[in-house]
Amino acid sequence: MPLPATAVLPEPAEVVVVGGGNAGISLAARLLRDGWRDVVLVEPSPVHRYRPLMNYVGAGEVRMRSLEKPMGKVVPDGVRWVKDAVAAVDTATRTVTTGRGRRLRYTTLVVCPGTQEDWDDTPGLQSAYSAGWATSTYVPSAAPLVWPALSGIRSGTVLFTVPPEPAPCAATALKPLLMACDAWRRAGVLDDLEVVLALPGEHVTEVPKADARLEKMFERYGVRVLRHTRVARVDPVLRSVELTTPTGTVRLDDLAHAHVVPHYRGPRWVTDAGLGAPAGQVDVDPETLRSRASDAVWSIGDVAALETSSSGGGLRKQVDVLAKNLTAAAKGKRLHRYDGFTVMPVTTSHRRLVLVERDRTGPRPRHVPVVGRFKPRRLTWLLDRYGLPVVYWHRLLKGKV
């Protein structure tokens, strides 16, 4: 249950966790299971979402309500929930100040509120969303509009983008693209469309065999790929997008639709607190997950600068390492290490998916033993679509995985 708005914590909490997404809820539950007794969670949202399914919302296969639960249903019993947003953090006094003026003192602070859309970084994009011709599965209010928009297109140019880092599992931005292309192919209209993909780098996963497989899918669907490309600005009236490429500016006019994922950044208070890395992420040791600026502060998830691509599978490893490290730090023992493991699930068609696993050194041996490496399979699609949501709600959020 949330604490009343006037609640004040008279004594420093053992652990204050900022953020009620996958990272914050999973960690809070794990800490309780590990014997921590005083865990405070700061999260303003009344709704918790299993965000990976939003890509399937964008393919017309899932409704938003099926991936949402009231936050009060997922906050672990025994955790004190402060239903408020963080306004400031003072690492010198170990104090968190909320938007309503509450002051929460901490012994240990874990920063995991995720990242937020940086609409100002792409002029005109938010207005294009409001106009309805630009959407993405990354934005909850826009995700239900993606499939009605894409499924009705029969000709013209459609733009898809993969967001630059930091972004929530950027590789999965390919899911709406490849599922839409498969749907257009089956409808017999793909040849009448010009499908353009803007990539922030040379490839998507930086795993050569996986990227080679994805390149074949782009070729199969006739996707024009622009590499090392970012969205510079959007004209919401003319339905045009200006792209910055290594060879100059490319302008796409009169678009039928634009699935443009916003750029992301960490909350402003992270930088204001002296904790920030570029793009407002938390500057941490990427292996121990501890802040470089304050020994009492730790961070995981999208907001942490961990030198790896964010993902739910990677976050599971981060929660495990951080939970162990909070206990080890309290006892003065050696800290555990996070190797940057991450998982990137990418649907290549309506019912097939490739699961790419890597760490900071390159491809990882299979973590999921039943899955073939780098080959799109129906089995991996079933796991992603049906199996992992069950694990998420019943195991991960309860600190059991």
Angle at 19 between CA 110 and CA 127, to 5 degrees: 135
Q: Report the alpha-carbon distance of residue 135 to residue 392 in Å, rounded.
A: 26
Low pLDDT (below 70) residues in the chain:
1-10, 364-373
Query: Can you tell me which residue has the tokens 């162990």?
Result: 324
Which domains are assigned to the chain?
A: 13-115+266-340 (3.50.50.60), 119-263 (3.50.50.60)
How many C-beta atoms lie closer than 10 Å to residue 192's C-beta? 11
Q: What residues contact 111, with CB distance under 8 A and at least 6 apart?
A: 18, 19, 89, 270, 275, 282, 291, 297, 298, 299, 303, 304
Residue type, 376: P
pLDDT score recorded for residue 400: 87
pLDDT score recorded for residue 6: 45
Give me the phi and psi of 293, to 5 degrees please: -95, -25
pLDDT score recorded for residue 336: 98
pLDDT score recorded for residue 318: 97
pLDDT score recorded for residue 374: 78
Strands 13-18 and 39-42: parallel
The pLDDT tens digits for 323-355 are 999 999 999 999 999 999 999 999 999 999 999
pTM summary value? 0.94
Pick from 195, 178, 223: nearest CA to 348: 178
